C-alpha cells in the first residue's frame, strides 16, 4: 500500500464530516474520491461542494464499484460494526469515528474483522492529536517532569452543542460516550493503562435525556492517579469551549495546559511557557480551529500508516481499552463501586 496518492471514500455526510472532508483536502498523499450517505440530498450536496463525482447512497455498491485504498466511516455508532466489517471484507484500510461502538461485543467484532482481513483499523480519536496534547506527550516522553504521578483533565463549558447536533439531547448515554471517551483516550495516552475506575454522573440541564456531567477517578497500572471531569452545563465567562484544561504532576515538575492554549512547564529551574494555539485552517475558524487542526494532524498520521511508516494511533485494538473505561463508568456509577478493569473486561 506504500507510495502514491491514497484513494479514499467517506461514509456519512453529517455535521462533523465536513471537518473530515476539509481535512482530507489539506492532507498530502490522500484524496477522497467517493462519498456515501443514506440521505441522497446530503451525499449530493457534499459531492458538489467538495468536487467528488462518485456519490452513493449504498455502501456496498460504492465498495464494489470504486477503486479505493481506505474508507473513512463518519456515521453514528449503531451503524459502525456492519460498515467496518463490510469494508474489511473488501480488504481496505478503515477509519472509524468514535465511539467505536455502543457495546464492547461489537467493538471486539470489528477489531477481529480487521485482524482477520489483515488491514489497518484506526479510530478517529482527535483529542490526542490536538497541538497541546502532542506537546505534552513529547515532554513526558523526554522525561521533562520525571515520572508522572497525578493528572487532571477537565472539559467544562456551557456551549449549546445541541443546536448543531440535536440528537445528542435524545441519547440515554450522552456525555461519557460523546466527550468522556476523548478524555479517557488522552488519559491512557499520557499516563498509561488503567486498572481501577470510579465514576459519578449527573443530569443537570432540563430536556437532555442522558448524563451531561461526570467526574471519574482513574488509578493507572503505574500507580499514578488521574482525575477526569466534564460538564456540558457550566456557566463560564468567557466561554472556554472547546478547550480542555490539563494538569500533570511528575516527581520533577508539572505540565499545565490552560484553556487559553498555553503550555506551562514548572520545574526546579522555574517556569517556562509556550503557545500551543495552532494555526487556523483556511476553511476553519476560532475557536473550532483546535479541533480542525487536530483532524488534519490525525489524517496526516493515517497517510503515514497507509504508507507503512507509522503504527496506528489509536488502533481499534488500543481503543478497546478506552471504550471499556467508558462503558465501565456507567457500571461504576450505578453500582456505587470502584471497577477492577481486568475483571470487567474478562466478563464481557
Give the per-residue pLDDT at 2. 62
- Between CA 320 and CA 263 the distance in angstroms is 30
- Between CA 286 and CA 288 the distance in angstroms is 5
Q: Is the pLDDT of residue 198 over 60?
A: yes
CA–centroid distance for 258 within its chain: 20
Neighbours of 300 (CB within 10 A): 17
Alpha-carbon torsion 199, 204, 243, 168, what sign? positive
Give the per-residue pLDDT at 322. 98
- Between CA 316 and CA 241 the distance in angstroms is 28
Q: Do residues 111 and 48 make contact, with C-beta atoms less than 8 angstroms apart?
A: no
- Between CA 282 and CA 195 the distance in angstroms is 43
Interval 72-109: pLDDT, tens: 999 999 999 999 999 999 999 999 999 999 999 999 99
- Between CA 35 and CA 43 the distance in angstroms is 6
Interval 241-298: pLDDT, tens: 999 999 999 999 999 999 999 999 999 999 999 999 999 999 999 999 999 999 999 9
C-alpha cell at 14: 453529517
Q: Is the pLDDT of residue 333 over 70?
A: yes
Binning pLDDT at 50, 70 and 90, where does residue 306 land?
Answer: very high
Binning pLDDT at 50, 70 and 90, where does residue 215 land?
Answer: very high
For the chain, domains (ranges, CATH) are: 6-119 (3.40.50.720), 128-280+319-342 (3.30.360.10)
Cα angle at 60 between 59 and 63, to 5 degrees? 85
Sequence-separated (6 or more) residues with CB below 8 Å from residue 242? 155, 157, 159, 287, 288, 290, 291
Q: Is the pLDDT of residue 166 over 80?
A: yes
Alpha-carbon torsion 85, 86, 90, 94, what sign? negative
Interval 113-154: pLDDT, tens: 999 999 999 999 999 999 999 999 999 999 999 999 999 999
Question: Strands across the sheet with 6-11, in order?
Answer: 54-56, 30-36, 6-11, 70-73, 93-97, 121-124
Q: Mapping DSSP to helix (H, G, I), strand (E, B) and coil, where does residue 117 land? A: helix
Binning pLDDT at 50, 70 and 90, where does residue 167 land?
Answer: confident
Closest C-alpha among 309, 308, 303 to residue 5:
303
Question: Strands across the sheet with 245-250, in order?
Answer: 270-275, 262-267, 253-257, 245-250, 148-156, 225-231, 213-220, 194-202, 339-340
Closest C-alpha among 96, 29, 50 to residue 306:
29
Sequence-separated (6 or more) residues with CB below 8 Å from residue 342? 195
**What is the model's pTM?**
0.96
Give the per-residue pLDDT at 1. 54
Give the per-residue pLDDT at 262. 98
Interval 17-56: pLDDT, tens: 999 999 999 999 999 999 999 999 999 999 999 999 999 9
Amino acid at each position: 500500500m506504500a507510495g502514491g496518492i491514497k484513494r479514499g471514500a467517506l461514509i456519512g455526510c453529517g455535521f462533523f464530516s465536513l471537518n473530515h472532508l476539509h481535512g482530507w483536502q489539506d492532507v498530502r498523499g490522500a484524496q477522497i474520491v467517493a462519498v456515501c450517505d443514506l440521505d441522497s440530498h446530503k451525499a449530493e450536496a457534499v459531492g458538489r461542494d467538495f468536487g467528488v463525482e462518485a456519490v452513493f447512497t449504498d455502501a456496498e455498491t460504492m465498495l464494489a464499484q470504486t477503486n479505493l485504498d481506505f474508507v473513512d466511516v463518519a456515521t453514528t455508532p449503531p451503524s459502525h460494526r456492519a460498515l467496518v466489517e463490510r469494508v474489511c471484507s473488501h480488504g481496505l484500510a478503515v477509519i472509524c469515528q468514535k465511539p467505536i461502538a455502543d457495546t464492547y461485543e461489537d467493538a471486539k467484532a470489528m477489531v477481529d474483522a480487521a485482524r482477520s482481513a489483515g488491514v489497518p483499523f484506526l479510530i478517529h480519536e482527535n483529542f490526542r492529536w490536538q497541538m497541546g496534547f502532542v506537546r505534552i506527550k513529547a515532554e513526558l516522553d523526554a522525561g521533562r517532569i520525571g515520572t508522572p504521578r497525578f493528572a487532571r483533565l477537565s472539559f467544562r463549558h456551557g456551549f449549546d452543542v445541541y443546536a448543531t447536533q440535536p440528537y445528542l439531547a435524545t441519547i440515554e448515554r450522552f456525555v461519557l460516550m460523546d466527550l468522556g471517551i476523548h478524555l479517557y483516550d488522552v488519559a491512557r495516552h499520557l499516563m498509561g493503562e488503567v486498572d481501577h475506575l470510579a465514576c459519578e454522573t449527573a443530569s443537570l440541564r432540563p430536556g437532555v435525556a442522558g448524563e451531561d456531567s461526570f467526574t471519574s477517578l482513574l488509578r493507572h497500572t503505574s500507580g499514578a492517579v488521574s482525575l477526569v471531569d466534564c460538564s456540558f452545563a457550566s456557566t463560564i465567562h468567557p466561554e472556554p469551549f472547546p478547550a480542555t484544561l490539563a494538569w500533570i504532576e511528575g516527581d520533577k515538575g508539572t505540565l499545565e495546559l490552560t484553556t487559553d492554549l498555553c503550555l506551562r512547564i514548572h520545574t526546579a529551574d522555574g517556569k517556562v511557557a509556550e503557545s500551543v494555539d495552532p494555526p487556523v485552517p483556511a476553511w476553519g475558524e476560532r475557536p473550532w480551529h483546535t479541533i480542525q487542526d487536530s483532524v488534519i494532524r490525525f489524517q496526516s498520521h493515517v497517510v503515514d500508516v497507509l504508507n507503512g511508516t507509522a503504527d496506528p494511533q489509536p488502533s481499534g485494538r488500543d481503543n478497546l481499552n478506552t471504550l471499556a473505561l467508558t462503558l465501565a463508568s456507567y457500571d461504576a456509577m450505578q453500582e456505587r463501586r470502584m471497577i477492577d478493569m481486568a475483571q470487567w473486561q474478562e466478563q464481557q
